[in-house]
Amino acid sequence: MHSKPEHQQKFASITDETRRNYAGTLFTLDEGVGKVVETLSTAGLTERTLLVFISDNGGPAANGSSHGPLRGQKATTWEGGVRVSFILNWPGQLKPADHHQPVIQLDLMPTILAAAGSPVAADEKPWRRSAAIYQGRKIRCTA
């Protein structure tokens, strides 16, 4: 993973070179997402577009990732290896909120199909759980 030198320069106060490179890489990602959002806005598609950002797992410490107070990293089952950002943005449909309930990427496909008005098979019940979370409703977890 290599960031642009000008992006690394923005983080010159970070003394660890690996961490500074990682910060520059995240800045590049942020810049790219900004371009996508700007393009959607210019085209008048912001309120018709569901943006989804999710990671597959925590980052490896070797690339400069930090999990703060969480134990573990990528390839571990501790929180630092499995707890990741999961961001949904859909102006006019979803209200800004923080949720701290577990969800899983497997919920995404049926959830997106339901949001698009497409029929979802009766055995695809997970979408109901994740849809409730995204709408800010409390859910009851059962084993």
- Which has the higher per-residue pLDDT, 17 or 98? 17
DSSP for 42-109? HTT-GGG--EEEE-SSPPPGGGT---TT----TTSSSHHHH---EEEE-TTTS------S---GGGHH
| For the chain, percent of residues with pLDDT exceeding 90 | 29
DSSP annotation of 131: H
Is 24 in contact with 17 (CB distance < 8 Å)? no
Per-residue pLDDT, 125: 55
The residues spanned by each domain of the chain are 97-138
Residue, of 114 and 15, whose pLDDT is higher: 15
- Across 95-109, average pLDDT: 78
Full-prediction pTM beyond 0.75? no
Per-residue model confidence as pLDDT tens digits over 20-76: 998 999 999 999 999 999 999 999 999 999 999 888 787 777 878 877 888 888 888
Residue 56: predicted pLDDT? 77
Q: Is the pLDDT of residue 121 over 60?
A: no
